[in-house]
């Protein structure tokens, strides 16, 4: 029986959904999430029908072209949607473990703002796109980290300072950094500070949105590996966002590919790269330049991403899909589990895949 089937739901009053689940590995369940922006030209349906289950202690990578809705989704599931964006529908249920090992779930989308604030840092941490620019230029690093620790925990001054130094060390920064101002630090050091702050209260879930795109490739690689190691050693769940497929290959246990406000494929990382199922995923992977890899041609994806003001009917990818069929123009494909742990929304896979699925045979050529 899957987690959803075993879930018993009891509405607890405004904004609080208490649930117990038989699957204690589930950290978050996102159901039919739609986050739209009101614009003068109509609703921009940035996130438009996302279903996803996040497991405890996994590193989950979210990929997709610019504008496909990654940031809107990342902020949305943490209850951080701001006008002109709004939650049109859906749930994002976050499960906390209680002392008797049951999982208690709360919908972060309907939770009152003060409750969400209480969860921040202790349960949920967000490292935003361009995070190093969020550090206050006129405040020493130690004050920025300590203020957050005091606000969100009951730690004494001594405990908070000890925790701060522990976290700075964890991200490879000297204690002396605590007394510095952001302008005295390199981009990589500033990014490490934001990671130290995010992990300081051992949150259950960290979402990092393009945490390293402003950094040079070598620093990027090192910091991402550190982030992954910290997540694993602290047994927390990390969702990180980037359009860079090569980074996902290094980082993720599992990944989700977004296209036009929806997920089109969710698979373990090895399978995603070895046998990508969705033609869009295949296009993204073929766009990665091979490292020292002969002269094989990068294929890429023809055409441009559509506008969230007007998604194409049927499968939203059909105008760009090299394998488009008549049904794709008319009917949106449902997300199906076509092999254990492998979800894809594509008419090429109407039933579970096997070695004789034509689309799958094609893949292997």
Ligand X SMILES: Nc1ncnc2c1ncn2[C@@H]1O[C@H](COP(=O)(O)OP(=O)(O)OP(=O)(O)O)[C@@H](O)[C@H]1O
Provide the binding-site residues for ligand X, judged by CB under 6 A.
37, 39, 44, 46, 64, 66-72, 84, 243, 308
Beta bridge partners of residue 258, listed in sequence order: 263
**Minimum distance from residue 334 beta carbon to ligand X (Å):** 23
Using the minimum distance from each CB to Mg ion, give the nearer residue, 91 or 209.
209
**Minimum distance from residue 128 beta carbon to Mg ion (Å):** 9
Query: Reduced to 3 states, what is the DSSP secondary structure of residue 192?
Result: helix
Using the minimum distance from each CB to Mg ion, give the nearer residue, 17 or 129.
129
State how far the Cα of 136 lies from the Cα of 140, in Å rounded to an integer: 8
- In the list ligand X, Mg ion, none, the entry touching 54 (Cβ below 5 to 8 angstroms by class) is none
Using the minimum distance from each CB to Mg ion, give the nearer residue, 70 or 120.
70
- In the list Mg ion, ligand X, none, the entry touching 37 (Cβ below 5 to 8 angstroms by class) is ligand X
18 exposed, middle or buried (CB, 10 Å; 0-12, 13-18, 19+)?
Answer: middle
- In the list ligand X, Mg ion, none, the entry touching 46 (Cβ below 5 to 8 angstroms by class) is ligand X
Pull the structure tokens for residue 212.
């390293």
**Minimum distance from residue 77 beta carbon to ligand X (Å):** 12
Query: In sequence order, what DSSP letters do the residues of 198-250 get, joined into one string?
Result: HHTT--SEEEEESTTTTS-HHHHHHHHHHHHHHHHHTT-EEEEE-S-HHHHHH
Using the minimum distance from each CB to ligand X, give the nearer residue, 71 or 144.
71
**Minimum distance from residue 306 beta carbon to ligand X (Å):** 9
- In the list Mg ion, ligand X, none, the entry touching 308 (Cβ below 5 to 8 angstroms by class) is ligand X
Using the minimum distance from each CB to ligand X, give the nearer residue, 63 or 164.
63
**Minimum distance from residue 113 beta carbon to ligand X (Å):** 19
Using the minimum distance from each CB to ligand X, give the nearer residue, 239 or 348.
239
- In the list Mg ion, ligand X, none, the entry touching 284 (Cβ below 5 to 8 angstroms by class) is none
Query: In sequence order, what DSSP letters do the residues of 141-164 get, joined into one string?
Result: HHHHHHHHHHHHS---HHHHHHHH
Instruction: Give the count of alpha carbons within 13 A of 47, CB side only.
Output: 27
**Minimum distance from residue 59 beta carbon to ligand X (Å):** 19
- In the list ligand X, Mg ion, none, the entry touching 67 (Cβ below 5 to 8 angstroms by class) is ligand X
- In the list Mg ion, ligand X, none, the entry touching 19 (Cβ below 5 to 8 angstroms by class) is none
| Residues sharing a CB contact under 8 Å with residue 363, sequence separation 6 or more, in sequence order | 275, 276, 277, 282
**Minimum distance from residue 210 beta carbon to Mg ion (Å):** 6
Site residues for Mg ion per CB under 5 A: 70-71
Using the minimum distance from each CB to ligand X, give the nearer residue, 45 or 56.
45
Of 192, 310, 288, 197, give the one whose Cα is nearest residue 242: 288
């Amino acid at each position: 029986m899957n987690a959803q089937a075993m879930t018993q739901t009891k509405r607890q009053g405004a904004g609080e959904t208490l649930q117990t689940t038989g699957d204690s590995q589930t950290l978050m369940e996102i159901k039919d999430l739609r986050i739209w922006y009101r614009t003068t030209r109509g609703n921009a349906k940035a996130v438009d029908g996302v279903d996803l289950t996040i497991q405890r202690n996994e590193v989950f990578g979210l990929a997709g072209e610019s504008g496909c809705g990654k940031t809107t989704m990342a902020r949305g599931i943490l209850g951080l949607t701001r006008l002109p964006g709004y939650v049109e529908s859906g749930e994002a249920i976050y499960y906390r473990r209680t002392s008797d090992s049951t999982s208690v779930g709360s919908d972060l989308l309907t939770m009152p703002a003060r409750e969400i604030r209480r969860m921040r840092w202790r349960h949920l941490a967000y490292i935003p796109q361009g995070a190093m620019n969020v550090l206050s230029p006129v405040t020493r690093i130690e004050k920025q980290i300590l203020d957050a620790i005091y606000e969100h925990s009951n730690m004494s001054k001594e405990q908070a300072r000890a925790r701060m130094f522990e976290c700075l060390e964890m991200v490879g920064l000297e204690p002396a950094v605590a007394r510095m101002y952001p302008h005295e630090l390199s981009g990589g050091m500033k990014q490490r500070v934001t990671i130290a702050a995010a992990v300081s209260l051992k949150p259950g879930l960290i979402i990092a949105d393009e945490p390293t795109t402003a950094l040079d490739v070598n620093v990027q690689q090192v910091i991402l590996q550190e982030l992954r190691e910290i997540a694993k050693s602290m047994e927390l769940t990390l969702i990180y966002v980037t359009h860079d497929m090569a980074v996902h290959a290094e980082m993720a246990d599992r990944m989700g590919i977004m296209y036009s406000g929806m997920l089109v494929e969710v698979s373990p990382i090895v399978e995603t790269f070895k046998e990508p199922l969705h033609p869009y995923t295949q296009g993204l992977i073929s766009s990665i330049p091979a490292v020292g890899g002969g002269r094989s041609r990068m294929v890429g994806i023809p055409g441009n991403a559509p506008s969230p003001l007007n998604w194409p009917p049927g499968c939203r990818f059909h105008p760009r899909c090299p394998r488009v069929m008549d049904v794709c123009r008319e009917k949106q494909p449902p997300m199906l589990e076509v092999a254990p742990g492998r979800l894809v929304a594509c008419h090429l896979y109407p039933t579970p895949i096997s070695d004789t699925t034509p689309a799958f045979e094609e893949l292997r050529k």
